[in-house]
């Protein structure tokens, strides 16, 4: 018997605790909703949704995506509109189709155009020493990544003071719980301790708040397979306004790879990092060494905090970090590798 792919395992897990509907029933609903003749699961599925590609639409219309989403993981129309205003056609415009009748637990349905490109996880290099061609493609991806963050920087968002204080308190509680669990002797403890001191500055009125994806992972970024230019950013269900840089852990993910033996940095990691910041300064228009140093230091601290929230805590049902600590050895090693 052949082993199931990781994608099908995720899909099976999604439907395992569900009475209705089945995967086949969702496929039929997707066909009816889109008017397509065939459906197939996306290659990189999420854990909180079942998403399919609908092909063969009438009149040679382009393929569409239909997504069945659990409560708490629905796409917020206002957030998607804001993201589209900042990032343009890289953000697909969603159409809502209500809920699945009789679904247990409930499921909402939305559809959107299928953006061109493949998930970055499908094309990322798993070689420490890349060829010149692979390095050039990864460099292009890093430049596009920098432009994404520059657009976020250039679109600051206002935040109510009380809401901002509540966000800061939520993060402080989680970080404090993590420090209680970490042995004071390890490197990660000193990093988390220093980051705790930076939280008031990051959530302060003088630091830029920006639309933050909050699941800006290698599965939610689409790229052109030949050039590695970013073609789309999907799944904005967790997005909200946070301190600029909370998604910057993607830069760590883009300068190495994880396998069964642990985390590995590319030999060109420093070149990729330098390329990112050079492109970011150029597009954002931030000038002057002092301003750049301050902006980079705070953004990188925000990125470290974002990485901690995503890797050191279990996920809530909606995909957001819970307050339950997940101290797996592999994740701690990954964080330590990034922060060292």
Residues 12, 216: Cα–Cα separation, whole Å: 24
φ, ψ for residue 276 (rounded to 5)? -55, -55
| Alpha carbon separation from 269 to 26, 130, 141, 148, 153 (Å, rounded) | 43, 11, 13, 19, 24
pLDDT digits (tens, 9 = 90+) for 129-160: 999 999 999 999 999 999 999 999 999 999 99
> pLDDT band for position 68 (50/70/90)?
very high
Take residue 84 and report the two structure tokens written for it.
């589209």
In the chain, % of residues over pLDDT 90 = 83
DSSP-derived pairing of the beta strands 108-113 and 64-69:
antiparallel
Q: Which residue has the tokens 């509109």?
A: 81
Cα angle 145, 147, 148; round to 5: 65
- For the record, the structure tokens of 103 come out as 């679904």
Residue 203: per-residue pLDDT: 96
Would you state the structure tokens that stand for residue 247, as one six-digit string?
Answer: 């998604």
Q: Residue 331's pLDDT is what?
A: 87
In sequence order, the 6+-apart residues with CB closer than 8 A to the CB of 30 are 36, 39, 52, 54, 66
DSSP 202-266: HTSTTS-EEEE-S---TTSEEE-TTT--EEEE---TT-EEEETTTTTHHHHHTTEEEETTEEEE-
Question: What confidence score (pLDDT) does residue 1 get?
Answer: 47
Handedness of CA 183, 184, 190, 195 (dihedral sign): positive
User: Tokens representing 216?
Assistant: 């800006």
Residue 2 is predicted with a pLDDT of 59
The Cα 50–Cα 43 span in angstroms is 11
**pTM above threshold 0.85:** yes
Per-residue pLDDT tens for 155-170?
999 999 999 999 999 9
Q: What is the pLDDT of residues 186-233, one digit of tens each?
A: 999 999 999 999 999 999 999 999 999 999 999 999 999 999 999 999
Please report the sign of the dihedral spanned by the C-alpha atoms of residue 1, residue 261, residue 309, residue 85: negative
**What percentage of the chain reaches a pLDDT higher than 70?**
99
333 pLDDT tier (thresholds 50, 70, 90): confident
Rounded mean pLDDT of the chain? 94
The model's pLDDT over 3-25, given as tens digits with 9 standing for 90+, comes to: 788 889 999 999 998 999 999 99
Per the CB < 8 A criterion, the answer to whether 147 and 233 are in contact is no
Between strands 256-259 and 230-233, the pairing is unpaired
Whether the predicted pLDDT of 269 surpasses 50: yes
What pLDDT sits at residue 327? 79
User: What does the pLDDT look like over 35-64, one tens digit per residue?
Assistant: 999 999 998 888 889 999 999 999 989 999
What order do you get walking across the sheet with 64-69 strand by strand?
38-41, 49-55, 64-69, 108-113, 95-99
- 291 pLDDT above the threshold of 70: yes
């Amino acid at each position: 018997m052949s082993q199931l792919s990781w994608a099908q395992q995720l899909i099976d897990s999604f439907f395992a605790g569900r009475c209705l509907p089945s995967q086949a029933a969702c496929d039929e609903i997707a066909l009816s909703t889109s008017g397509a003749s065939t459906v197939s699961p996306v290659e990189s599925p999420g854990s909180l949704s079942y998403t399919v590609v609908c092909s063969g639409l009438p009149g040679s219309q382009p393929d569409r995506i239909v997504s069945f989403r659990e409560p708490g993981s629905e796409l917020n129309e206002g957030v998607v509109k804001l993201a589209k205003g900042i990032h343009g056609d890289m953000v697909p415009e969603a159409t809502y189709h209500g809920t699945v009748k009789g679904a247990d637990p409930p499921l909402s349905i939305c559809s959107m155009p299928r953006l061109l490109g493949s998930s970055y996880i499908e094309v990322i290099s798993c070689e420490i020493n890349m060829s010149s061609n692979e390095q050039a493609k990864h460099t292009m991806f890093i430049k596009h990544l920098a432009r994404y963050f520059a657009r976020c920087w250039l679109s600051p968002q206002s935040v109510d003071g009380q809401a901002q204080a509540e966000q800061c308190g939520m993060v402080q509680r989680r970080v404090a719980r993590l420090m209680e669990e970490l042995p004071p002797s390890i490197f990660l403890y000193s990093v988390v301790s220093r980051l705790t001191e930076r939280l008031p500055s990051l959530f302060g009125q003088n630091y830029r708040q920006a639309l933050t994806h909050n699941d800006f992972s290698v599965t939610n970024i689409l790229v052109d397979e030949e050039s590695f230019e970013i073609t789309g950013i999907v799944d904005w269900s967790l997005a909200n306004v946070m301190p600029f840089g909370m998604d910057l852990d993607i830069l760590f993910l883009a300068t190495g790879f994880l396998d069964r033996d642990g985390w590995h940095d590319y030999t060109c990691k420093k070149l990729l990092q330098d390329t990112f910041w050079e492109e970011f300064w150029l597009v954002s228009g931030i000038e002057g060494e002092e301003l750049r140093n301050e902006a980079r230091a705070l953004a990188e601290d925000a990125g470290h905090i974002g990485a901690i929230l995503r890797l050191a805590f279990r996920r809530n049902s909606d995909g957001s970090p819970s307050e339950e600590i997940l101290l797996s050895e592999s994740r701690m090693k990954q964080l330590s590798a990034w922060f060292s």
